[in-house]
Structure 1
Amino acid sequence: MVGVTDPWRRRLGEVARFFVVAQAATWVSFVLFNVLLHGMFVGDALLEDQAIPAYVLANCVGMVISFHGSRGWVFPHRPPRQADGGLTAYVVINLAAMVLPVGCLYLSREVLGLDSALADNLSANGIGLVLAFGARFLLFKRFVFPLPAESTPDAVATR
């Protein structure tokens, strides 16, 4: 790209890789959520009429996928500051960000009275995940996968 500096190219690369990892985790979560709540592919729903527990369980599985993809591919040049590799901060941020899609799902079901697979997926896996995606990217970058203190953006771009 003409006029794009190396730090910008690095940031765009991080965002693109984060998006790919998030998509993989999201698809796993999406399918599992619909299997649990609506019986997709299996017939009988295991958590029928329990939308929020189904969503939280499905997204905990997605969280594991997302952590490993983020640590190994999106932010490998950002060593963890914490002894646990950033896992605790990662889980706390994910649970905090999960409030956004869960809130959208709650609003759809309990306030608007919408009870369908389409409404569940648009509220939680559409609107809610877009909001949570942005929040998680910024929070992960700052608290889980920060640049080392001695690094400058130019030094990291050359790694």
Structure 2
Amino acid sequence: MTAARRELVGFATAGLLAYVTDLALFTWLRGPAGLDPLTAKTLAFAAGCTVAYLGNAHGTYRHAQHRGVRPYAVFVAVNLAGALVQLLCIAVSHYGLGLTSQYADTVSGAGIGMALATILRFWGTRTWVFPAEGRVGSWTG
């Protein structure tokens, strides 16, 4: 398997685990727990972000230099930018378009918002958190 493919598969795997964590927690917080959509999404994001960092640091980019607090702090910043994309999608849908059902909140935040945020997160993670010069067998693209 090429380095590019390994990176994409690893990032997707870590992301899928984070997505499942985020979606399950958001659904529970928005439904049975009865939280408002933005609070539920914020809490679900925090859990998903941690799962994603651990998956990438110990899996996808395990050969990269990522010692200390800085890589995690930058990862959180990149993921906060992604979370803002997701929150914006929920806010536009829920408050702007009046689509206030749990289903609409889930589609806008965990569907459309997550897809757009994933593109931003991949680019930010490989550019700023685990840059090419710190990786073994990386691809540049």
Q: TM-score, normalised by structure 1?
A: 0.81
Task: Give the distance between the partners of 1:83 and 1:32, measured in 2 at CA.
Answer: 28
- 2:109 is paired with a residue whose SS is helix
Q: Is the 8 A contact 1:79 1:148 kept in 2?
A: no
1:101–1:129 CA contact under 8 A, matched in 2: yes
Q: Comparing both structures, which one devotes a greater share of its residues to helix? A: 2
What's the counterpart of residue 28 of structure 1? 21
Aligned-residue identity in percent: 27
Larger RCO (CA under 8 A, 6+ residues apart): 2
- 1:156 pairs, out of 133, 137, 140, with 137
Give 5+ residue unaligned stretches, structure 1. Answer: 1-5, 40-44
Moved over 2 A (4+): none
1:89 is aligned to 74
- Describe how 1:9-24 pairs up with structure 2 within 5 A: 9-24=2-17
| Pick aligned residue for 1:79 from 65, 68, 77 | 65
Instruction: Give the conservation status (yes or no) of the 8 Å contact 1:79–1:146.
Output: no
Residue correspondences, number: 138
Quote how far apart the aligned CAs of 1:85 are.
5.2
Larger-Rg structure: 1
Partner Cα distance (2:4, 2:97) in 1: 39
Q: Read off the aligned partner of 2:107 and give its amino acid letter.
A: L
Return the letter of the residue paired with 1:119. Answer: A
Name structure 2 gaps, 5 residues minimum.
Answer: none
Hey, what's the Cα distance between the residues in 2 that align with 1:29 and 1:21?
Answer: 12
- How far 1:84 sits from its partner (Å)? 1.7
Cα shift at 1:143: 0.5
Counterpart CA distance in 1 for 2:50 and 2:34 is 21
